[in-house]
Chain A
Amino acid sequence: DAGVIQSPRHEVTEMGQEVTLRCKPISGHNSLFWYRQTMMRGLELLIYFNNNVPIDDSGMPEDRFSAKMPNASFSTLKIQPSEPRDSAVYFCASSLFGANTEAFFGQGTRLTVV
């Protein structure tokens, strides 16, 4: 398996533009997580899904952030409109629900909003 695949790896956009980050989880995994890494807060959980259903989105910072999981093999995180303070590395991770097990991370998307 190729692991968790995220795209793009890098994104530079202007303030006010819409940004869409994409994630393909590991086949067979039924939990998917979006994290944001910042110096101040480390790895911050934004939202997670079980069986394509959003379970907890309490970490989503504002209404400008939204996430979807239309099927078991694809998820998006959208920021609209983007702001400079959204600049960070965004990680997607997946795991197998139902047992204490680890989450597997993608390589991340480095977002820069100028």
Chain B
Amino acid sequence: DQQVKQNSPSLSVQEGRISILNCDYTNSMFDYFLWYKKYPAEGPTFLISISSIKDKNEDGRFTVFLNKSAKHLSLHIVPSQPGDSAVYFCAAVKSGTYKYIFGTGTRLKVLA
């Protein structure tokens, strides 16, 4: 039972354009969401997060949008750079449990 789903296993984008990565979740009790980036042979590193009391959080080129009614979040990267090429995982957690549930990941390739 996959509570956090990333339905696109891969995505290719031209350098300078926008990358949009999507994530859906099924458990309405989740109230904190995170995006991680993972390069080959390295551990995932934290990128950006959002609390369920917000619908948008921005950090430089990265913006996360949360649509609670649709149980959907997305990560926008603008402009995309070749160094952004990595696997991106979304994660969700219910406050008080600290049990981070991850999706299956989306491999982003930014073409120069």
Interface residues, chain A, CB within 8 Å of chain B? 4, 31, 33, 35, 40-45, 48, 50, 55-56, 91, 93, 95, 97, 100, 102-108
The answer to whether B89 and A43 have CB atoms under 8 Å apart is: yes
Within the assembled complex, what's the spacing in Å between the Cα atoms of A40 and B105? 10
Taking a contact as CB atoms closer than 8 A, the residue among B41, B42, B99, B105 that contacts A48 in the complex is: B99
Within the complex, the shortest CB–CB distance from B10 to chain A, in Å, comes to 12
Within the complex, the shortest CB–CB distance from B31 to chain A, in Å, comes to 8
Within the assembled complex, what's the spacing in Å between the Cα atoms of A93 and B89? 15
The answer to whether B102 and A104 have CB atoms under 8 Å apart is: no
The answer to whether A100 and B44 have CB atoms under 8 Å apart is: no
Given contacts A43-B102, A45-B102, contact A91 B43 (CB under 8 A): yes
Give the secondary structure class of A's interface: strand
The answer to whether B51 and A100 have CB atoms under 8 Å apart is: yes
Taking a contact as CB atoms closer than 8 A, the residue among A31, A42, A45, A100 that contacts B105 in the complex is: A42
25 A-B contact pairs sorted by A residue (CB < 8 Å)? A4-B43, A31-B98, A40-B104, A41-B2, A41-B104, A42-B102, A43-B44, A43-B89, A43-B91, A43-B102, A50-B98, A56-B99, A91-B43, A91-B44, A95-B98, A100-B32, A102-B34, A102-B46, A102-B49, A103-B46, A104-B46, A105-B36, A105-B45, A107-B42, A108-B42
Within the complex, the shortest CB–CB distance from B57 to chain A, in Å, comes to 12
Within the complex, the shortest CB–CB distance from B100 to chain A, in Å, comes to 6
Contacts of B42 on A, CB cut-off 8 Å? 107-108
Within the assembled complex, what's the spacing in Å between the Cα atoms of A39 and B46? 20
Within the complex, the shortest CB–CB distance from B51 to chain A, in Å, comes to 6
- B14, CB-defined interface residue at 8 Å: no
Question: Can you name 18 extra interface pairs (CB under 8 A) apart from A42-B103, A48-B99, A100-B32?
Answer: A35-B102, A42-B6, A43-B44, A43-B89, A55-B99, A93-B100, A100-B49, A100-B51, A100-B93, A102-B34, A102-B46, A102-B49, A103-B46, A104-B46, A105-B36, A105-B43, A105-B44, A108-B41
